[in-house]
């Protein structure tokens, strides 16, 4: 059963949320259109994200971070997404994937080396996907060959978010392909590593300012002390980190839907047809009511999953449901927002077309909607058998 008043925030959470809102409105909003046109994040803005502490929300204070929790990271992702989906996923990957994985799997030496950098100036990226391994994540072909005190990586990664800015990559490679997923190992690879290069940058429909690119490994030598977790246990890191990351994507989709809704709500009050504002017509009112209801349901699911994660309770099914539902709602709400704007909504002069473009990716990355449905159904079947 859901706890009562699940969406009610504590005073500290409200203060944090308000600070992010003010930052997003003051620092991000003026740059959104230009970043979208140029398909590139503003460098000065990236620095301000670090200064604001948004690149190390969960990072403990002893490592230079904010020392907050997973729920707060999701709040930040949501609030930023109300203004821009690209900046939101940039912050999301840093917190819910990269920092989260290091906190859980890195040894103390690795934490001391990388967590302060990730809190202060280094961007992180999570390199799992390949051309042959999308939903079938464990079909990856990037090979790691043992060579003395090193592993040598050869192959490619595709669709890697933050690749253009990242200084640290969590890279998944197979040290024993004949063993299947049991050979998958996670490595901490710095951008400066010889043999690592950034390839083609994707020209995307949405979240255009977020860099999505290929990573090429050509005899890339990585020392054995750069293994994250245990050799051959990379599959476990990948599964558990993505389970958590999906809540972050749910928060992003929630924010995108809320942002589009707020614009549409305001526009329907200002736009007049037949002598009165269009929000006085029942047909428009019903659409607004549906949007608001679906957004609130998404918020309940995302917040519940994040709270469960922080409470160290089972959250896998809740995370899958939150991502699935929030991404569906984001596409529906942003599409309706365009409808409510009419012809204006179809132009780049108004903001809602971008929300729609940004929303579509939610049903694809960090596990497609079909993969979320499979997880939900499998857990229900297993529950029935238990």
**Which residues are the active-site residues?**
366
> Are 39 and 208 within 8 A, CB to CB?
yes
Burial class (CB in 10 A: 0-12, 13-18, 19+), 219: exposed
d(CA 221, CA 370): 37
3-state secondary structure at position 377: helix
d(CA 103, CA 93): 14
Closest CA to 214 of 202, 225, 227: 202
Give, in order, the Cα–Cα distances in Å from 64 to each of 53, 61, 67, 102, 167: 9, 5, 8, 14, 17
d(CA 217, CA 70): 32
Pairing mode of beta strands 212-223, 150-161: antiparallel
């Amino acid at each position: 059963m859901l706890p009562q008043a699940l969406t009610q925030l504590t005073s500290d959470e409200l203060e944090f949320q308000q600070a992010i809102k003010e930052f997003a409105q003051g620092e991000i909003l003026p740059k959104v259109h230009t970043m979208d046109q140029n398909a590139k994040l503003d460098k000065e803005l990236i620095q301000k994200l670090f200064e604001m502490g948004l690149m190390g929300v969960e990072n403990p204070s002893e490592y230079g971070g904010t020392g907050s929790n997973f729920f707060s990271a999701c709040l930040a992702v949501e609030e930023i997404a109300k203004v821009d989906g690209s900046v939101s996923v940039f912050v999301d990957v840093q917190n819910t994937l990269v920092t989260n994985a290091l906190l859980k799997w890195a040894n103390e030496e690795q934490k001391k080396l990388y967590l302060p950098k990730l809190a202060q100036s280094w961007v992180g990226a999570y390199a799992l996907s390949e051309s042959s391994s999308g939903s079938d994540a464990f079909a990856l072909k990037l090979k790691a060959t043992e060579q003395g005190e090193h592993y040598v990586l050869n192959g490619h990664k595709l669709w890697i978010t933050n690749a253009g800015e990242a200084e640290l990559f969590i890279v998944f490679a197979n040290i024993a392909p004949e063993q299947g997923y049991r050979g998958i190992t996670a490595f901490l690879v710095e951008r400066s590593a010889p043999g690592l290069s950034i390839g083609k940058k994707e020209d995307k429909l949405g979240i255009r300012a977020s860099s999505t690119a290929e990573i090429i490994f050509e005899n890339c030598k990585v020392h054995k002390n750069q293994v994250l977790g245990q050799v051959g246990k990379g599959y476990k890191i990948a599964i558990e980190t993505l389970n958590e990351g999906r809540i972050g994507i749910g928060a992003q989709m929630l924010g995108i839907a809320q942002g589009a809704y707020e614009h549409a709500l305001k526009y329907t009050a200002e736009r007049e047809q037949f002598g009165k504002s269009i929000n006085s017509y029942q047909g428009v009112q019903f659409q607004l009511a549906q949007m608001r209801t679906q957004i609130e349901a998404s918020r309940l699911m995302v917040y519940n999953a994040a709270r469960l994660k922080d409470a160290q309770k089972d959250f896998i099914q809740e995370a899958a449901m939150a991502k699935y539902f929030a991404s569906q709602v984001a596409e529906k709400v942003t599409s309706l927002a365009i409808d409510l704007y009419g012809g204006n909504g179809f132009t780049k002069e108004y903001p809602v077309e971008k929300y729609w473009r940004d929303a579509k990716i939610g049903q694809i990355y960090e596990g497609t909607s079909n993969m979320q449905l499979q997880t939900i159904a499998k857990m229900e079947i297993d529950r029935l058998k238990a």
